[in-house]
Structure 1
Amino acid sequence: MSQIEHHPNQETILSYAAGSLPAALAIVVGCHLQYCPACRVSVNAGEALGADLMMELSPQTLSTRARESVLAQLDMDLREVAEVSQSRVLEAAENASVNVGAPEAIPRLLHQFLQEDSFDALPWKKTLAPGLKQIIINCDEGDVRLLRIAAGKKMPVHSHRGSEITMILRGGYSDSLGKFNAGDVADLDSATEHQPVADSDEDCICLAGMDAPLAFRGWLARLMQPIVGM
């Protein structure tokens, strides 16, 4: 894997460390952490800062009603606790091994959702956009998609109604923000409009997490959006 040049922004890292990042975005950040020692250090620093702030809080006595409410929450059905949540994403990311020597491998955090060992073995489904295939990953908080852009092909021009974090897993693409290679992350908000173009020599496979649908510029892309689901 080439040297990583694009990382999640600091606000995203701190939200991830605090456990407040929506699961769709946290999955992408967790995969990036498998390959990026610098961001792992930042997450650890954020967790330590949060722990220090907690230690400085003055303890408060709970009323009987508040104490009963807390105990009731602790007794919630274990089946509900087992649902995909931010805590599960963080735990899986922490247990993921660093595997920088195998860029073709599916990141361990992502593997638990896909149950395959290689990108080429996945059941890719065509979208209505030429040269674009996808796999939808079930997530309770936001939208997670594995995208495969054919070599030399373009994504439709789009902006974002919310936040989007995309990590390149294989190949690369270029857009108005620069060149993104395997391991790089594009951390985008509603102020960004771009059109990723896959490298000409290899399909670009990337993992995209969104907390709101994309906003396509062209009328045809907007017309297809309800069908494609992005």
Structure 2
Amino acid sequence: MSIQHQVSDELLLDYATGVLSEGWRIAIATHLALSPQSRRRLAVMEMAGGALVHDLASEPSLLDEDRSWMTLRKRLESPGAQGVTPPPSRPIPGSVLSVVLPDPLRSYVGGDVDSLKWRPLGRGAYHLPIAVGDPSTMVRLLRIPAGKPVPEHGHRGRELTLVLSGSFHDGDALFARGDLEEADETLQHQPVATEGEDCICLAVTDAPLKFRSWLVRAVQPILGI
């Protein structure tokens, strides 16, 4: 599996220092479970951060000027910063290749996709809201029928979409298992699931989407999207 769309350096650094809220951490940790490349980048960031903290520790005056490094040091040295850690880079012996939801995501929904109770979104699409203790984000699984588009929409904030099974096209870009799409207020788009297999994604947002269709806007409060 070759992942073409990795998490950005900015988000990965925020994850490494533990400043992300729970919803974003779930998305990044799940992406890390699927992406050896991003795990290597995370390891480099943590090593660099640890080296900086070590150097600053020998200069008390610098630490007095910038106490934020003390917070960074605590977060880097504590296992499972903010409660979410990336899974091991090597697959567990005897693991089943058909597993769609890696940990930590699978622990949030209580099993893999075959045990989920999907809720209909209309036109063959389904979703599953995921409860988190962080009210600033909305986290859900989406299942889009093969060959079908999602309604065209823009964003009032940030959206992370991580592909777990199948794939989708967004313009000329193809997003497959492990790929992470980052969207913000500047993006208006209409992703389309590729033919042959439903696309299952993890989506995290911090604001309601801006749908172009009046019909979708009418039912948006009911669907919670």
Q: TM over 0.5, yes or no? A: yes
* Partner-residue secondary structure (3-state), 2:202: strand
Question: Which residue does the alignment assign to 1:124?
Answer: 118
Identity rate, percent: 36
1:12, 1:103 → 2: CA distance? 29
Label 1:35 to 1:98 Cα distance change in 2 as closer, same or farther (>3 A). farther
Question: Which residue does the alignment assign to 2:201?
Answer: 206
Question: Which residue does the alignment assign to 2:51?
Answer: 52
Do residues 224 (structure 1) and 219 (structure 2) align? yes
Gaps of 5+ in 1: 61-84
1:194, 1:175 → 2: CA distance? 7
TM-score, with structure 1 as normaliser? 0.79
2:132, 2:170 → 1: CA distance? 27
2:120, 2:219 → 1: CA distance? 13
The total of aligned residue pairs comes to 201
Label 1:103 to 1:34 Cα distance change in 2 as closer, same or farther (>3 A). farther
* Partner-residue secondary structure (3-state), 2:139: strand
2:100, 2:159 → 1: CA distance? 23
Question: Which residue does the alignment assign to 1:4?
Answer: 3
Do residues 165 (structure 1) and 164 (structure 2) align? no
Cα deviation 1:141-197 (Å, max 9, x = unaligned): 311100000111111111111111111111111112511111111112221111111
Amino acid at match of 2:218: L
Among 135, 140, 145, the alignment partner of 2:128 is 135
Amino acid at match of 2:152: V
Question: Which residue does the alignment assign to 2:15?
Answer: 16
Among 103, 110, 114, the alignment partner of 2:105 is 110
* Partner-residue secondary structure (3-state), 1:32: helix
1:30, 1:10 → 2: CA distance? 14
Do residues 192 (structure 1) and 187 (structure 2) align? yes
Gaps of 5+ in 2: 62-79
1:101, 1:14 → 2: CA distance? 31
Would the aligned equivalents of 2:87 and 2:103 in 1 still touch at CA under 8 Å?
no
Deviation at 1:96, TM superposition (A): 7.9
2:183, 2:202 → 1: CA distance? 13
Q: Which has the higher contact order (CA 8 A, sep 6+)?
A: 1
Among 176, 182, 188, the alignment partner of 1:181 is 176
The Cα RMSD (Å) is 2.3
Label 1:226 to 1:96 Cα distance change in 2 as closer, same or farther (>3 A). farther
1:59, 1:11 → 2: CA distance? 28
Label 1:97 to 1:210 Cα distance change in 2 as closer, same or farther (>3 A). farther
Amino acid at match of 1:20: V
2:11, 2:192 → 1: CA distance? 25
2:81, 2:218 → 1: CA distance? 33
Would the aligned equivalents of 1:164 and 1:210 in 2 still touch at CA under 8 Å?
yes
1:122, 1:210 → 2: CA distance? 21
TM-score, with structure 2 as normaliser? 0.81
Would the aligned equivalents of 2:100 and 2:165 in 1 still touch at CA under 8 Å?
no
Amino acid at match of 1:205: I
